[in-house]
Structure 1
Amino acid sequence: MTLEELKLAMRIDHNFDDGFIQQLKDTAEDYIKDAVTLSPNRDSFFQNNPKFDTAVMFLVGAWYEQRVSSMDKALQEIPFGVTNFIQQFRGAYTDGI
């Protein structure tokens, strides 16, 4: 998923936060991959995987919206759907098993 695709999904039409969004995207990708496996051969499993892209989008969206430390609503570290995707990835990932 490119930065532009991510911004389109998040309905962001400015470039003020591009660096921050890219950082969140890179961090979300690593977070999800690390939660599934630490195998050095993992990248091919996640490439062209729409579920992975969706999980990254969910996580980046949540982190982007919750970046302010003082909010009225309770902060949730990991959005509900991302945890479900991670569990599915763990079940489907077979490298090194």
Structure 2
Amino acid sequence: MVKLEDLKLSLRLDEDWDDGLLQNYIDTAQNYIMSAVNSGASLEEFNKYKQFDFATSLLAQYWYINRSMDTSNGVPDSVLSMIQQLRGHITNETVS
């Protein structure tokens, strides 16, 4: 699970004025990835895979860094790649 403190460390943020915004990005990124992979799977299933945490962190960082820009692609390719990997893992687990 991605923690606020870890995200702030990755972004090299020392202040706490954006903590609420950052937590919102974390929560939204988790929900986005879970919905893109398998909306019926639980958070516990996703937490088994490091790709989930890494994709969540990358997506939250991307949205934070680019929050004032108009981007045509709202999701980096590296996150999309991890979503594809998770689809294979999570879909196979829930079918078995």
User: For structure 1, which runs of at least 5 residues remain unmatched after alignment?
Assistant: none
Identity %: 35
**What amino acid maps onto 1:82 in structure 2?**
V
Task: Name 1:11's counterpart in structure 2.
Answer: 12
Task: Name 1:60's counterpart in structure 2.
Answer: 60
Q: Tell me the matched-pair count.
A: 93
The alpha-carbon distance between structure 1 residues 54 and 96, as it changes in their structure 2 partners (threshold 3 A), is closer
1:25 equivalenced with 2:26 (yes/no): yes
Q: Which has the higher helix share?
A: 2
User: For structure 2, which runs of at least 5 residues remain unmatched after alignment?
Assistant: none
Task: Name 1:50's counterpart in structure 2.
Answer: 50
Q: CA RMSD for the aligned pairs?
A: 1.7
* TM-score, with structure 1 as normaliser: 0.85
**Other structure's SS at 1:13 match:** coil
Task: Name 2:36's counterpart in structure 1.
Answer: 35
**Cα distance in 1, alignment partners of residues 79 and 69 from structure 2:** 21
Q: Which runs of 4+ in 1 moved over 4 A?
A: none
